[in-house]
C-alpha cells in the first residue's frame, strides 16, 4: 500500500510541478492574450496523448528565435488525430519533411510537423478525433521522437496548451503488484 501511495504522490507532484512550471514560464505575449481575452478554448482533444517535452516560447519579433509550438513525445508512427473539426489547408512536404495544417475556422489554424505519414489531403474536411497523420522523428537531431504542434490565431502563434483540454493522468500511471 505504501508503494501505491508513493506512486500516486509522485504522479501528483510531477503533474503539479509541470503545471507550475508552465504557469511560471508564461510568455509576455501569452499574458497579454490572457488579459485581453484572446486565449484558446482549452477544449481541444490532444492530437497524441503523451507528455510535453518542449514548451511554447514565442519569438520577440516575427522572424526571431523561439519555439512556435510545443513538442509532445510520441513513438514514431503514432496516429495523430484532429483536435477539433477542420478543413485541411496543407498536407505535404516542406523542405523534404511532411506537415499537415488544419483550418478550424475563426482564424485558428493548427500545424503538425515532422510527420512520417499524412493520412489526409488538401481540402479534406476532418472531424474531431479523425486520424490526419502519423508521428515522425520530430525536430531534426532532437530526441526522443515527438510531434511538433503549432497553433496560430489570425497568423499569430499561440501557446497550444491554451487550446488543448485536460488529459487524464491515468495514461501515465503504471501500477505494480504489491
- Domain map (residue ranges) of the chain: 2-172
Say how far apart CA 11 and CA 110 lie, in whole Å.
29
Judged against a pLDDT cut of 90, whether residue 83 lies above it is answered with yes
Q: What architecture does CATH give domain 2-172? A: Distorted Sandwich (2.70)
- Quick one: pLDDT band at residue 87, thresholds 50, 70, 90? very high
Q: Tens digits of per-residue pLDDT, 92-134?
A: 999 999 999 999 999 999 999 999 999 999 999 999 999 999 9
Read off the C-alpha cell for 48: 497524441
What average pLDDT does this structure show over 153-177?
84
Nearest to 133, CA basis, from 100, 158, 107, 164 = 100
Strand ranges in 31-124 using DSSP code E only, listed in sequence order = 52-54, 70-73, 79-81, 86-94, 97-105, 108-118
More confident residue, 1 or 51: 51
β-bridge partners, 66? none
Say how far apart CA 47 and CA 135 lie, in whole Å.
10
Q: Tens digits of per-residue pLDDT, 16-51?
A: 334 444 443 433 333 334 433 456 778 999 999 999
What average pLDDT does this structure show over 51-61?
90
- Model pTM? 0.74
Name the CA dihedral angle for 115, 88, 163, 68, rounded to a multiple of 10 degrees. Answer: 50
More confident residue, 173 or 72: 72
Do residues 149 and 160 make contact, with C-beta atoms less than 8 angstroms apart? Answer: yes
Read off the C-alpha cell for 85: 473539426
What average pLDDT does this structure show over 139-158?
93
Read off the C-alpha cell for 155: 497568423
Nearest to 31, CA basis, from 58, 54, 55 = 58
For cell 503545471, the residue is 19
For cell 503533474, the residue is 15
- Quick one: pLDDT band at residue 167, thresholds 50, 70, 90? confident
Longest dimension (CA), the chain: 54
Amino acid at each position: 500500500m505504501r508503494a501505491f501511495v508513493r506512486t500516486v504522490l509522485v504522479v501528483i507532484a510531477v503533474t503539479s510541478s509541470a503545471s507550475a512550471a508552465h504557469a511560471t514560464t508564461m510568455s509576455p505575449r501569452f499574458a497579454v492574450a490572457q488579459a485581453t481575452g484572446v486565449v484558446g478554448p482549452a477544449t481541444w482533444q490532444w492530437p497524441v496523448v503523451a507528455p510535453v517535452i518542449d514548451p511554447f516560447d514565442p519569438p520577440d519579433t516575427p522572424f526571431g528565435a523561439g519555439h512556435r509550438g510545443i513538442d509532445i513525445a510520441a513513438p514514431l508512427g503514432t496516429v495523430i488525430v484532429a483536435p477539433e473539426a477542420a478543413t485541411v489547408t496543407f498536407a505535404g512536404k516542406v523542405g523534404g519533411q511532411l506537415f499537415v495544417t488544419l483550418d478550424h475556422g475563426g482564424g485558428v489554424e493548427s500545424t503538425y510537423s515532422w510527420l512520417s505519414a499524412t493520412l489526409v489531403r488538401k481540402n479534406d474536411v476532418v472531424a474531431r478525433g479523425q486520424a490526419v497523420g502519423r508521428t515522425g522523428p520530430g525536430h531534426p537531431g532532437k530526441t526522443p521522437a515527438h510531434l511538433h504542434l503549432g497553433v496560430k490565431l489570425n497568423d499569430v502563434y499561440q501557446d497550444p496548451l491554451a487550446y488543448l483540454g485536460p488529459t487524464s493522468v491515468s495514461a501515465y500511471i503504471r501500477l505494480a503488484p504489491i
